[in-house]
Structure 1
Amino acid sequence: MATDPLGIAEARSQLGTLVARAVHGHQPTTIRRSTTERAVLISEADYEELLRARRELEAGHVAEAITAHARGEREMMMTYDSKEALYADLGLPTPGERS
């Protein structure tokens, strides 16, 4: 269930409750600092699940790219100067970059 974002001062005053809600109820809370700066408070377990899902999605993209290359449908560089170059060639955001 989505709720309206909380201002940072209000979130600070309710932090214990918000953490308990995230951990025990798996309910995320969006916190806004301004109209453009927002963050989401979630449990560590939910965060780990999101990271796991992202890795699986990225692995699927890599497998697809390798299969397409093997069929001759995609050109790929065979060596990379950096991790960023590899990710760019595969069409993936670099780790830490917003996808």
Structure 2
Amino acid sequence: MKEVYIVSAGRTPVGSLSGVFDSLTAIDLGKTAINGAIERAGLAHDQAEELFMGNVITANVGQAPARQAALAAGLPKSVPSTAVNKVCASGMKAIMHGVQSILTGDNDIVV
């Protein structure tokens, strides 16, 4: 079986409702997490083949928040982006989707 490795991770800090991150959108936070994970992995943005992003509160962010965050982070327009909304464990489910896409041979590098 093919082996899959996590070489970097990125997530947003947890804050309270109407707290310090209130002025930032999920897109702003997602962009920061994406760029941080790519930088720590030592990859170039154009090496990403697909993006899976956990997103819990989707109100007021517009359509396709993962796509918006990917483009804001500088990923190429050709990179498919999927938002996972499961409330608890959205990020974990996003990781699972990434692993599955690598195991099936669809991708080699997933953010």
- What TM bracket, shorter-length normalisation? under 0.3
| TM-score of the superposed pair, with normalisation by structure 2 | 0.24
Q: Which of these two proteins has the greater Rg computed from alpha carbons?
A: 1
Which structure ranks higher in relative contact order (CA pairs < 8 Å, sequence separation ≥ 6)? 2
Using the size of structure 1 for normalisation, the TM-score is: 0.26
More helix by share: 1
